[in-house]
Structure 1
Amino acid sequence: MVRTSMDNAKGKRCNSCCGDFTDKLLNLCRCYRKNKDLSNELEESLIDDDHQHTQNEYNKPTIQSLKYDEERLETEIKKLQNRIEEEQVERQTLFSEKEGLIHELEELRTRLSAVISAQVTDSNPNIADLSDKNRPTQLAERYSELYDNQWTECYDGLTNILKWEDKESMKWILGLFINIFQTCEEKASKDLEQLRKILKEFQSGTTETLKTLKDKRKKSSMVPKDQITAKLDGRFAENKQAIDIAENFINESVELCWLMAVQDPPVYVDTSVNTHGQPLDTNHYKYYTQKGELVDYVVWPVLFLTIEGPLLSKGIAQGLVEERQSEENQTMIKDSGEDTPESTKL
């Protein structure tokens, strides 16, 4: 209708709006412009809808593509899960390796400490293991108790039951103890030498290994009593009754002497007891019942930390004065020119 009105507009009025208009004013008609604008907008809208529809149709995912995307995502998830598991395994492996290295480091530190300790303490009597109940100072206490208890019991038995003389009984007990100590000392030394040879054969005779084995032997409660007493039976077979009386003394002496012999270095008993007439050193001996500047006989030997070490326990000795005084008197007589009883007889 608009178009018809416009076709017939020349010299006429617009049916849709006001007034007359000429051909020149035709395009200025509000109705015409309005309808034309609406027509253009509608056409553009339709074109946009068609374009959007086409684009939507183009972009619309298919079921197959969705399944593909789902499978792809599931594959990616599995890969990530596998990666996580692999990293967890790797993490656990690294943690185990770390723990192993820490343990190895601790072992190396312990071994280094043991090596240094072995080098410092091996055969060094100046470093005492305070945790060792059989350390030399403790053995010295047992040594004194042996004399006070078992020695006295044995002495009483020999003098009261067998009616031995005092001096004879003391010398026999002293000889028995020295034999026990020397037997223990000899066996401990031989055992250690055999141990060194065995370690050398296996190429493991290190200071650390030897020190460890010596410490274990030192702290062990195993005493080769039968091997030691077997030798005593041979040396003292003629005194079977005395051996029976001395049983307690022998048992304690064997255990104590063995512990002294396996110390590192060994505790030493002075076995040089045949000192009759020699000066009595009060730094090493206590008097028995008789004081004197000379030694009559040794009752109990001196105990040292090592063979050339400091004193652990004093010995007991019977003093002698008559012999020195007699010698001095003889010297004085000779110097004065007086005749002795022998010269008088001549």
Structure 2
Amino acid sequence: MGSCCCRRKSKDDSFEQLCKSSIASDNETISTVDDQHAQDNISTYGATATPKAGIAKKSSDKGKSSQKRNYEKPTLQSLEAEITMLRNRIKEEEVKILDLTAERAGFIHELDDLRTRLSSVISAQVTDSNPNIADLSDQNRPTKLAERYSELYDNQWTECYEGLTKNLKWKEKDSITWILGLFINIFQTCADKASKDLEQLREVLKKFQSGTTETLKTLKDKRKKSSVVPKDQITAKLDGRFAENKQAIDIAEKFINESVELCWLMAVQDPPVHVDSSVDQDKYKQPLDTNLYKYYTQKGKLVDYVVWPVLFLKKDGPLLSKGIAQGFVDQMQSEDQQTMVGGSGENTETFDTHF
């Protein structure tokens, strides 16, 4: 009996101990869950706040922020002032933009002027006294003058020759020699005057500026294109040499007028177009160069007399127009060796006398 009670007591003690152990385990689990929950709250609401405290703090912060925004809310007057200030700044910036745009335009214009001046200087240096560069818009360029030179011989020269031989009864050679001398005199007078005028101009420019190439080139071009011909100054010098031939001068009036204008235009070219004025010297029985001359009415290896001078692009330059010369034939030669094309300049067959 006693032993039965002891066993029962032992069982009761074991059961009580098991219950205590279970309760302790449950409390430990609850404690662990509470700790985890608390840790989660700390992560969410802060290290020292409980969920309710966090919610309360958040609500409090929201209220303070709302109060702050209400405190900093701009007034209508401040907005209008700010708009006015911005508009003024925009106007100031627009003025600055306009000033910069005008300054930029000024720089561009100045740059264009400098480029134009540089181009003019380079052009003047390249084209000054350079006949190889021709202005195709110039109606008085050397090739055009060469055409007028041929027309002068075909037209006015022929009229003058016929007037001298028919009206004054001059001999053929005398008429041709007189007309040739008249033309050479006109050309030399024009060449001398043009050269002196240019030299005077160069001296004047030196007094005002050191570099005269560009300005001088511009003035030479203007003189070349000008229609002003100092006719009176040139023809006045003819009266001295040809005063004794007043009738011949009257007959040659058209020839003189055209010659003066043409020779002046040739003299003001840059460089001047050159007429072989050495033909007024005695070329009798000199070799006749067919590269420079065409025959007048008679062929021959030698020159009898020159009818019309050779025209060159410039002195010692390329040929522009051939001259005309009468070939010399020795009277002792047989007729088979002679090539006669006519005895006089009137009513005779002539060669093509132009280049």
TM-score normalised per structure 1: 0.72
Q: 2:87 aligns with which of 75, 78, 81?
A: 81
- Count residues in correspondence: 266
Q: 1:303 aligns with which of 282, 287, 311?
A: 311
Residue number in structure 1 paired with 2:110: 104
Residue number in structure 2 paired with 1:24: none
Residue number in structure 1 paired with 2:288: 280
Q: 2:227 aligns with which of 218, 221, 231?
A: 221
Deviation (angstroms), 1:155: 0.8
Residue number in structure 2 paired with 1:15: none
Residue number in structure 1 paired with 2:180: 174
Task: Within 5 Å, give how 1:316-327 maps onto structure 2.
Answer: 316-322=324-330
**In structure 1, the residue corresponding to 2:269 is in which secondary structure?**
coil
Q: 1:281 to 1:60 in 2, by over 3 A?
A: closer
Deviation (angstroms), 1:190: 0.4
**1:207-264 residue CA offsets vs partner (Å, 9 max, x unmatched):** 2221111111111111111111111122211111111111111111111101110111
Amino acid of the residue matched to residue 177 of structure 2?
K
**In structure 1, the residue corresponding to 2:169 is in which secondary structure?**
coil
Mapped to 2, the partners of 1:160 and 1:103 lie a distance apart of: 68
Deviation (angstroms), 1:81: 2.3
Conserved in 2, the CA contact under 8 Å of 1:295 and 1:317? yes
Deviation (angstroms), 1:204: 4.5
Task: Within 5 Å, give how 1:73-222 maps onto structure 2.
Answer: 73-222=79-228
Conserved in 2, the CA contact under 8 Å of 1:196 and 1:205? no
Amino acid of the residue matched to residue 120 of structure 2?
A
Deviation (angstroms), 1:79: 2.6
Amino acid of the residue matched to residue 236 of structure 1?
F
Conserved in 2, the CA contact under 8 Å of 1:294 and 1:324? no
Conserved in 2, the CA contact under 8 Å of 1:114 and 1:208? yes
Amino acid of the residue matched to residue 307 of structure 1?
K
Conserved in 2, the CA contact under 8 Å of 1:280 and 1:294? yes
Conserved in 1, the CA contact under 8 Å of 2:202 and 2:212? no
Amino acid of the residue matched to residue 223 of structure 2?
R
Residue number in structure 2 paired with 1:265: 271
Deviation (angstroms), 1:98: 1.4
Mapped to 2, the partners of 1:285 and 1:242 lie a distance apart of: 27
Deviation (angstroms), 1:120: 1.4
Aligned-pair RMSD on alpha carbons?
Answer: 2.3
Segments of structure 1 that go 5 or more residues without pairing to the other structure are: 1-51, 327-346
Q: 1:323 to 1:89 in 2, by over 3 A?
A: farther
Segments of structure 2 that go 5 or more residues without pairing to the other structure are: 1-62, 335-355
Percent identity over the alignment? 77
Deviation (angstroms), 1:323: 7.2
Conserved in 2, the CA contact under 8 Å of 1:196 and 1:210? yes
**1:277-314 residue CA offsets vs partner (Å, 9 max, x unmatched):** 21111111111111111111111000011111011100
